[in-house]
C-alpha cells in the first residue's frame, strides 16, 4: 500500500462480509441500506445488508452480470447468457430493454451505467460467444436513450466495465482481452462521442486479474479492478497504486450512507474497505434525496 493510497483509504485490511459463491459481480448500493450483487455462474441475484446474511432475491438471471438503477430506481441488469439488457420493477416484473441491434442479437451484455439524462450505457463484448452464434461482428459500447432508442457509440476490442467522470464528459471503458487498458471517450453535453484515447495502460506481470469493473470517486479518481487487485488512477491517468484484497475482485461499488465504503465482489466472497473520499453518487440517489 503506497503513500498515495494511504491518503485515500481509511482502512487497509478488507473485511469479508459473505462467502460461498462461485463468481461474484454486479455490486450496487441501494440507499435503503443494502447492496445488490450477483453470483454469475449460478445465475443468482443477492441482496446483502451489512451485519446480516445475504438474501437470494432472484434466480435464473441468465448469468446476470453488471447492474445499475434507472432514474426511477428500477434495477437494470445485463443478462449475458440471455444476450440482453433487462429492467426489473419492485414487484419482480422484468422487461427487455434491448436484445438486438439493427435486427441482430447482441453478443453478451456485460456492464451498464446510468447517465443523469436517463440514458443507459452498456458494453457488449463478443469474444465468449462462439463464432457460429455471433450475429454482430464487432464488440461495442451502446447507449439506450430514455425513449428506448439504442445507438452504437463505439466499437472496441473487448469492452467490459464502464463509468462516467463526475461531470459526465468522459466515459471510461475497461478493455479486458488482448491488450489491457482503459479507454477514455470524451463526450459533449448531449453525450455524443467527440474523440477517444487510451487513458491508462493496465498491462502487468501480475499472475491474476484483468481490467474489469470500474467506479469513480467525487474527485474524479478511477478505481478499476485488474491484475493483482483494484488499480487507482488520478484523473490525469497517473497510477496511484493497487488496493490488495484476499481474492482478486471483478468489480466494486461505493456504498454506505456516506458512499465511503468500498464494496468488492471478489470471486467466492464479498469484501469491504473504508475510503476517505466518497464515490460518485448515482443520478437516482440525487433525485431521491430532493
Cβ contacts of 24 within 8 Å, gap of 6 or more? 37, 38, 39, 40, 250, 265, 266, 267, 268, 269, 270
| 230 touches 249 (CB < 8 A) | yes
Instruction: Tell me what pLDDT residue 142 has.
Output: 98
Which pLDDT score is estimated for 2? 40
Residues in the chain where the model's pLDDT stays below 50: 1-3
**Prediction pTM value:** 0.96
In this prediction, residue 90 carries a pLDDT of 86
For residue 245, give the DSSP letter: -
| Residues in contact with 205: Cβ distance below 8 Å, sequence separation at least 6, in sequence order | 227
Predicted pLDDT at 177: 82
Give the pLDDT of residue 3: 46
Grid cell in block for residue 131: 463464432
**In terms of C-beta density within 10 A (0-12 exposed, 13-18 middle, 19 or more buried), how is residue 195 classed?**
exposed
Amino acid at each position: 500500500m503506497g503513500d498515495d493510497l494511504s491518503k485515500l483509504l481509511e482502512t487497509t485490511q478488507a473485511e469479508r462480509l459473505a462467502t460461498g459463491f462461485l463468481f461474484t459481480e454486479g455490486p450496487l448500493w441501494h440507499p435503503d441500506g443494502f447492496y445488490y450483487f450477483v453470483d454469475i455462474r449460478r445465475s443468482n441475484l443477492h441482496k446483502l445488508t451489512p451485519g446480516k446474511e445475504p438474501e437470494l432475491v432472484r434466480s435464473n438471471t441468465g448469468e446476470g452480470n453488471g447492474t445499475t438503477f434507472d432514474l426511477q430506481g428500477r434495477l437494470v441488469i445485463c443478462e449475458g447468457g440471455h444476450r440482453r439488457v433487462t429492467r426489473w420493477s419492485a414487484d419482480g416484473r422484468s422487461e427487455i430493454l434491448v436484445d438486438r441491434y439493427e435486427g441482430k442479437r447482441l453478443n453478451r451484455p456485460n456492464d451498464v451505467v446510468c447517465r443523469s439524462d436517463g440514458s443507459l450505457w452498456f458494453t457488449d463484448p463478443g469474444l465468449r460467444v462462439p463464432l457460429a452464434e455471433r450475429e454482430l461482428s464487432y464488440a461495442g459500447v451502446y447507449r439506450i436513450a430514455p425513449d428506448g432508442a439504442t445507438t452504437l457509440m463505439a466499437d472496441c476490442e473487448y469492452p467490459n466495465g464502464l463509468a462516467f467522470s463526475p461531470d459526465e464528459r468522459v466515459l471510461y471503458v475497461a478493455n479486458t482481452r488482448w491488450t489491457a487498458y482503459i479507454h477514455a471517450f470524451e463526450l459533449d453535453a448531449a453525450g455524443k462521442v467527440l474523440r477517444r484515447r487510451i487513458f491508462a495502460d493496465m498491462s502487468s506481470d501480475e499472475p491474476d486479474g484483468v481490467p474489469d469493473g470500474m467506479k469513480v470517486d467525487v474527485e474524479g479518481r478511477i478505481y478499476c479492478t485488474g491484475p493483482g487487485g483494484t488499480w487507482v488512477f488520478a484523473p490525469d491517468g497517473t497510477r496511484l497504486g493497487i488496493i490488495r484484497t484476499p481474492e482478486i475482485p471483478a468489480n466494486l461499488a461505493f456504498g454506505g450512507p456516506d458512499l465511503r465504503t468500498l464494496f468488492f465482489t471478489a470471486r467466492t466472497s464479498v469484501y469491504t474497505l473504508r475510503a476517505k473520499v466518497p464515490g460518485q453518487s448515482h443520478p437516482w440517489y440525487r433525485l431521491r434525496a430532493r
